[in-house]
Amino acid sequence: MRTMRRMGTMGVVAVVLLAACDSGDIADKVYTVDEKGYTVKMTARMSGLSEWEGSDYTLAVAGFTSESKFALLQKALPSSAEDGTPVSLVLSNLSSEVQTVELALTNSLRKRIITLASINMADYADRSAHDTILLDLGTLDAGRFGILQTGILNRACIQCHGASGRSAAGLNLTEGNAQANLVDVPSARREGYLRVESGNAEGSLLHLILREGGENLLAHNHTEILSSQFKTNLEEVEELIDNWIEHLTP
Ligand code: HEC
């Protein structure tokens, strides 16, 4: 139940705004339909965007085809946006090749690292091309840890760690608890390890249990949990977790 509620607050509310009926001349209309693809407008109040400044990662609204991990087109969110101020971004001229429009972290090659919210363009196939699809994301922590929480922990971990009232190994990974439960906290299951050791990804239990070779470190196979959830971007997700750990200062 808690999981459903969480998805409800962080999930996507996509609403189609029908453009006001165009009573204007026909030439205008023909031009609009032929030249323009779909338009998606994303709005949100975000914090933490500045944490990505100068990094290899970009938080962007991006259009993906079904064939590629690389965005066909994307627009970066302004990393200068002040925390909590409303941000809105318009992605237009989306061709029919674009299958999903996502709020995603991408790298410098526009490769998808992780998706935070997504709309399926097929759901809007019957709309005329000049409608604007609104993607309202509410409030979102878009900093290093916020993205980990929304993109990874909420999706793959909290069902056993905190959301249903039980926290396996005494580890609560729900929002507002996860950092304090992970960072520089001794493992309850493997003596000599910290769950996450600030600045040292490779020495952290979290890194080890999620990677190949870590299947048997715990009584529960976490390598498989991660690989079953992130089938097409496993390596990217592993690197993102390491990137977060490396940026923690001891
Ligand atoms: C299906 C249930 C389940 C899911 C999903 C799950 N875990 Fe676990 N987790 C466990 C269990 C059970 C243990 C304790 C294993 C043991 O006793 O050896 C554990 C232990 C851990 C530990 C070690 C804690 C310690 O103090 O030693 C970490 C770290 C951890 N999980 C992180 C995660 C992360 C991150 C995710 C999501 C990617 C996740 N878990 C998803 C069940 C789960």
Q: Is the CB of 75 under 6 A from ligand 1?
A: no
Predicted TM-score of the model (pTM): 0.85
The verdict on 138 and 158 lying in the same domain is no
Domain final residue pick, 114, 142, 170 = 142
The pLDDT of residue 98:
94
Q: Is the CB of 166 under 6 A from ligand 1?
A: no
Q: Is the CB of 219 under 6 A from ligand 1?
A: yes
Of all protein residues, whose CA lies closest to atom 37 belonging to ligand 1?
157
Q: CA dist 250 to 184, 185, 196, 215, Å?
A: 8, 12, 11, 27
Instruction: Mark residue 231 as left, alpha or beta (left: phi above 0; alpha: psi -120 to 50; beta: remaining).
Output: alpha
The verdict on 74 and 178 lying in the same domain is no
pLDDT digits (tens, 9 = 90+) for 189-210: 999 999 999 999 999 999 999 9
The verdict on 118 and 228 lying in the same domain is no
The verdict on 126 and 185 lying in the same domain is no
The pLDDT of residue 132:
87
What range defines the domain where residue 80 resides? Answer: 2-142
CA of 187 to the centre of ligand 1 (A): 11
What is the count of structural domains for the chain? 2
The verdict on 124 and 190 lying in the same domain is no
- What type of residue is 96? S
Longest pairwise C-alpha distance within the chain: 75
The pLDDT of residue 36:
60
Q: Is the CB of 187 under 6 A from ligand 1?
A: yes
Domain final residue pick, 100, 119, 142 = 142
pLDDT digits (tens, 9 = 90+) for 31-90: 333 346 789 999 999 999 999 999 999 999 999 999 999 999 999 999 888 999 999 999
Task: Name the strand (E) or helix (H) holding 3.
Answer: helix 2-10
The verdict on 230 and 150 lying in the same domain is yes
Domain final residue pick, 113, 142, 171 = 142
The pLDDT of residue 96:
87
pLDDT: which is higher, 141 or 130: 141
pLDDT digits (tens, 9 = 90+) for 94-115: 888 999 999 999 999 999 999 9
Which atom of ligand 1 is least distant from the CA of 195? 29
